[in-house]
Amino acid sequence: MNRFAAPVTVRAAAKINLHLGVGAPREDGFHPLTTVYQAVGLCDDVTAHPDADLTVSVTTTDWVDAAAIPVDGANLAHRAAVLLGRHHDRDLTGRLEVEKAIPVAGGLAGGSADAAAALVALDRLHDLGTSDDALLALAAELGSDVPFALLGGTALGVGRGELVEPVADVGTWWWVIVPSRVGLSTPEVYRHFDRMFPNASPEPPDADQLLSALLTGQPVSLARTLHNDLQEPAIDLRPELGDLIDLGEAEGALRGMVSGSGPSVVFLCESADHARDLAGALMRTGQDVVLVANGAVAGAHVVPSHV
Ligand code: ATP
């Protein structure tokens, strides 16, 4: 490694599932999904600095629970580094600095974003020239949402969500995101889905209506077609999420929805102004963290490092 190589910073976005259709568990235990992901403007940055060892450190914004993030080999950025190294038959080193703004265990795929960002940052730091196809395959090994974190934009995901392809999306969509201070375990929500829906079809519900709504560019049309099969189990585990959705809709959101497996709740709005108004209204009701973000934004990409 060139000890004098410049650090590389890669930004990766949170995701919202505009459609999350879940089928009965497959033989390998994974649930088959038909999902439409959208990358939104709430991002983590991963900076890879040249170093003789592989280490991870994490800094967080106010609403992110730093204590819930491992800084050892369990960190998804670290796991990404090991996997990328294995792909190239070498031990990759680097000091990975993760700056997190995406809530942990929030249903926004923050860990997946960090894994995708680490793959790209280390590929560039070490000038590995990994092909896009190889990066996507490594991403799929790291987690179902990681390939989408590389791709960004708006995309259809099938399989367990790891098989992604971009879809046509003509809108600019404005979201209010209300994270929760306490995360919700994704496997726990899936287990609860199985308890609540023991007769779920093996085929997840398709996303055709939502894909048509994306082509209208009209928030009202998109609002009608948002769909999340994990919403009921998430609300059953955390009834206050249902109350929050009702509150946001009463305050004028076009539609409120649990994001992925939760517990973050997202509200679709008409416009940037509408989103800011709704965010203000929700803060006045006592929500301590309310964020505004738009989509779709880019997947993991290099940004000029902070000097
Ligand atoms: P998804 O929507 O993909 O299920 P999530 O947003 O609910 O993901 P994450 O924030 O990705 O959940 O974190 C899930 C778990 O992964 C956390 O409990 C945490 O301990 C672990 N983890 C490992 N690496 C990271 C990381 N870099 N950032 C956040 N969590 C991480």
Residue 240 has pLDDT above 60, yes or no: yes
The ligand 1 atom nearest the CA atom of 108: 6
Residue 16 has pLDDT above 70, yes or no: yes
Q: Supply the residue whose CA is at minimum distance from atom 11 of ligand 1.
A: 111
**Polymer length of the chain:** 307
The ligand 1 atom nearest the CA atom of 112: 11
Q: Supply the residue whose CA is at minimum distance from atom 8 of ligand 1.
A: 109
Distance CA 35, CA 23 (A): 11
CATH number of the domain at 1-307, please?
3.30.230.10
Q: What pTM value is reported for the model?
A: 0.95
So what's the pLDDT on residue 205? 97
Is the Cβ atom of 235 under 6 angstroms away from ligand 1? no
Is the Cβ atom of 77 under 6 angstroms away from ligand 1? yes
Residues 175, 282 contacting (CB under 8 angstroms): no
Q: Where in the chain are the domains?
A: 1-307
So what's the pLDDT on residue 170? 96
So what's the pLDDT on residue 3? 62
Active site residues: 15, 145
Q: How confident is the model at residue 2 (pLDDT cuts 50, 70, 90)?
A: low
Is the Cβ atom of 107 under 6 angstroms away from ligand 1? yes
**Can you tell me the mean pLDDT for 263-268?**
97
So what's the pLDDT on residue 181? 85
- Tell which phi-psi region holds residue 91, choosing left (phi > 0), alpha (psi between -120 and 50) or beta: beta
Please choose, from the candidates 79, 97, 95, the residue with its C-alpha nearest in 3D space to the C-alpha of residue 143. 79
So what's the pLDDT on residue 305? 64
Q: How confident is the model at residue 306 (pLDDT cuts 50, 70, 90)?
A: low
The CA-based dihedral angle spanning residues 101, 266, 40, 140, taken in that order and rounded to the nearest 10 degrees: 80
pLDDT per position as a tens digit, 152-189: 999 999 999 999 999 999 999 999 999 998 889 999 99
Q: Supply the residue whose CA is at minimum distance from atom 28 of ligand 1.
A: 111
